[in-house]
Structure formats: C-alpha cells, structure tokens
Amino acid sequence: MTEFSHIPVMLDECIDGLAIKSGGTYVDCTLGGGGHSEAIASRLGNGGRLIAFDKDADAIAFASKRLERFSGLTTFLREDFKNAPARLEQLGADKLDGVLMDLGVSSYQLDSAERGFSYNAEAPLDMRMDKEQFLTAFNVVNEYSEMRLADIIYQYGEDRYARRIAREIASVRQHTTISTTGQLAEIVERCYPARERHSRANTCKRTFQAIRIEVNGELDGLSEVVTKLAMMLKEGGRICVISFHSLEDRAVKTAFKQLEAKCICPPRQPVCTCGKRQEIKILTKKPIEASEQEKQANPRSQSAKLRIAERI
C-alpha cells in the first residue's frame, strides 16, 4: 500500500489567514495527511481544541499517529465534512475561532493505484474517498445513461468533448464491461483529435475529475456548508477555503459574497426590507495562489486558490 503522505498546500498562507489564537477552537474539515492540522495544533496552547473531519479511514488512522503528541487537544471524526455543522453542535463546539477547508484530493488517494483515482495507473474503477460507500466510478461509467454521463463530464469536467466521450463509453459498454482506469483512459483519449493528444493528462484529467466529483458528491451542498460553518465563527474568527477547480471556487466565492452582502433586496427597490446584515468581511478580494516556488516543488498546488473571510 502507498505510504500516506500529503504536502499541505499553501500551509503558511493558511496559518497566517487563520490568525490562530492560543486556547481557541479550530476545525479542519479535510484532514488528509494531517499537515494543516499539525500546524494548527502546534499553535493552540493549553485549552485549545482542534476537531478534524475526514471520511477516509486511512486518513484518520495516519493523522491520529502523526498528531499523537497533541492527543489532549485533538478530536478526529470519520465523517463527511458536509455533516460538520451538525456534529460540531452535538460536541458543543458551535462557537469557533477558525475553520480550514482544503477541498483537494489527497496525494495518498491519487498515488494509491488501488483506489482508482489516477489515469496513469491500471486499477479497478473506484474513486471512493469513503471506501464503505456503495457508489463507485464503475457504477457511474457502466450504469449511468449516455445523456447523464455527458452532462456530468460537461458540468463537472468542463470538457467540450463530453458528448463524444459519453457516446464512446456507451458504445464500448454494449460489448464489454469497462472495469479499469486504463480502459476508461483509452476510451477518452481516442475521443480527442490527434492534434490535441499531447499527453494522457491533457485528455483524461477532465473526465476523471468529473467522475470523481460525481462519485464523492464533492459539490453537493458545498456553498451551504461553507455558509453554515462561517456562521458558527465567533466575532473575529476566520474561515480559509482552498479550492482546486473553478466549480469549487465558484461555490466558495458565492457563499462568501452572500454572507458579506448588507442587503439582498431587488436593486431598484427604494427602501431595504430584507433585514439582511453583513456577516463576514472577505479578506481576499482575489484568491491567493501558491508561490511559483511552491508550484514547482508541489505540482498539485498549481491550480489551488485560497479564499479567506472573517466574522464580524
């Protein structure tokens, strides 16, 4: 099995953005390899608390050992971060000093061939972050209708060849089951014009991303959970969100803008009647990107965008 490792993206920027207070209560919604959590825990001091979520049991097991010296400060929950607001209330931790959300897939998941996330390794079509859930990439590729597949690849992968790819998948599965990442990658590659087949990454990335998002429901309720968690912050508390593709970033941006708005009445209405108040101040009018040095050292940071807001 691949060693669990994950280089935390924009670590310094996240820690600076959280402005961690000694003795504060912080939430890491996406534990992964524990790099961000370790940096947060090391700054908590006596009386501080870190609650970390991840639906991957391997992540929980690894990070629990990595952060063992902070055992008195940390709580690890094997749960989808979409359930974080409800779980935090159950734990009596509904007044937060900071929230971190790193929405990327961990290096461990991508590099573990048996997990089926990568188009560069032959493996069963899986792509589940939670290995106990039923839906897999196999189900999506072999059981979804051609139209539904096309919509997913176009919407989540933003691939202009979505209809062609879905049509080819539907054609192939009439004769054989598509059961491996290699089979799917070959199908996708031949749907691109020869001049665009520069590398497997260029042709396969969007389709694999789209199927992964569908399998794990990555965009389902994202804006809503960002909003709920931001509303659980104390005055002066910070929320930092790292996204890795435009759809995620759009959901975060939308949530932040709605929370920052002072009024949501129709623009031509002469008097405000909505009663809306400004809940946060956006600290990053444009998202922060990784430095060129980090992008070279960690290629998976290249598409990352960090947005930060403060509760008022």
Judgement on whether residues 116 and 212 belong to the same structural domain of the protein: yes
Mean pLDDT of the chain: 91
The answer to whether residue 1 sits within a structural domain is no
The answer to whether residue 242 sits within a structural domain is yes
Judgement on whether residues 203 and 135 belong to the same structural domain of the protein: yes
The answer to whether residue 5 sits within a structural domain is no
The answer to whether residue 6 sits within a structural domain is no
Q: How far apart are CA 60 and CA 32, in angstroms?
A: 8
pLDDT at 273 over 80: no
Judgement on whether residues 208 and 74 belong to the same structural domain of the protein: no
Domain tally, the chain = 2
pLDDT tens digits, 204-238: 889 999 999 999 999 999 999 999 999 999 999 99
pLDDT at 257 over 70: yes
Q: How far apart are CA 269 and CA 80, in angstroms?
A: 41
Phi, psi of 12 (to 5 degrees): -60, -40
Judgement on whether residues 292 and 202 belong to the same structural domain of the protein: no
Reduce the DSSP state of residue 284 to 3 states and report it.
Answer: coil
Q: How far apart are CA 13 and CA 16, in angstroms?
A: 5
Judgement on whether residues 127 and 271 belong to the same structural domain of the protein: no
pTM metric for this prediction: 0.88
Provide the domain limits for residue 202: 111-216
Judgement on whether residues 175 and 229 belong to the same structural domain of the protein: no
pLDDT tens digits, 111-164: 666 777 788 788 999 999 888 899 999 999 999 999 999 999 999 999 999 999
Q: Which of 189, 216, 243 is the last residue of a domain?
A: 216
The answer to whether residue 136 sits within a structural domain is yes
Judgement on whether residues 87 and 168 belong to the same structural domain of the protein: no
Question: Residue 255 carries which side chain, given as an amino acid letter?
Answer: A
Judgement on whether residues 82 and 223 belong to the same structural domain of the protein: yes
The predicted structure's pLDDT at residue 4: 56
pLDDT tens digits, 85-108: 999 999 999 899 999 999 977 666
Say how many C-beta atoms besides its own lie within 10 A of residue 122's C-beta: 13
CATH number at 182 reads 1.10.150.170
Q: Which of 155, 182, 216 is the last residue of a domain?
A: 216
- Whole-number percent of the chain with pLDDT over 70: 94
The answer to whether residue 79 sits within a structural domain is yes
The answer to whether residue 4 sits within a structural domain is no
Reduce the DSSP state of residue 91 to 3 states and report it.
Answer: coil
Q: Which of 191, 216, 241 is the last residue of a domain?
A: 216
The answer to whether residue 297 sits within a structural domain is yes
CATH number at 22 reads 3.40.50.150
Residue appearing with tokens 């501080």: 48
Judgement on whether residues 41 and 169 belong to the same structural domain of the protein: no
